[in-house]
Structure 1
Amino acid sequence: MDNLDDLLRLVTSPAYFFDRDSHQIIACNQQFANLMEYEIKDLLTMSVEQLRPPEEIPLLARALAASPPEGAVEWRYRTRSGTILFVQLIYRNSIYIDKASDLNREVRMVVISKWDTTPVKSAEALFGS
């Protein structure tokens, strides 16, 4: 995945690519590995489902089947230690030409733009409607 790795080295935010058919993570940058508390080699053996809290897997399945929305989306991720991160991310679908196998792969690039370990409180939740 040299071309994807080269691209991810240019991205300063945590980012990764996954295969849209298998949901396998196929490339990620060091920032993403640090955020998730994993080594890159370990992340490359994982699927995107393994990075999410179990209760969000049905929602993730619906999102994986849909086209990416415009703008940032809020999600929760689960780090290696079990800490829940509240993140804003942007993702886009693309086609990656794998030169080693000479096959086109449908991939999704995910860039995490903001993250925190505490949920943001909405005004409605604090003060009612």
Structure 2
Amino acid sequence: TVSRKEPPVSSQLRHEAHPHLSACDDVHTQLGVTGGARAQTVTQPEESTSVIEGAPVQVKCNYSSSGSPYLFWYVQYPNQGPQLLLKHTSGESIKGFTANLNKGEKSFHLKKLSAQEEDSAMYYCALSDTVTG
């Protein structure tokens, strides 16, 4: 169960010892960002996802933006701060994770072909209409 004290706009990936894939009810946690006349929203429809080790996993991220947003995935391992995992411009695979920006569906889903126990963490999808640095 995911505590309501956890930060919004996140999905928690948990390792399970038994063979099933489950998700909580369709709970939407959102982060709204306004910048000038543009309004942007990121939605992660699944609050928690459980998979068995070695199974594929997908953490969904949908967005709404009137501009051309920059999208990111952050990961937060237990007892650590959030760390940048992927950004949509990199096209890389980091620790086996990939994420492809689909402008038609307005999605940036995080995927891994074979989940490992060490992947158990909080995953945050974020967007910005500008990138600095």
> Which has the larger share of strand?
2
Largest Rg, 1 or 2 = 1
Alignment TM-score > 0.5, same fold: no
Q: Which has the higher contact order (CA 8 A, sep 6+)?
A: 2
Q: Which range, TM-score by smaller chain? A: 0.3 to 0.5
TM-score by length of 2: 0.32
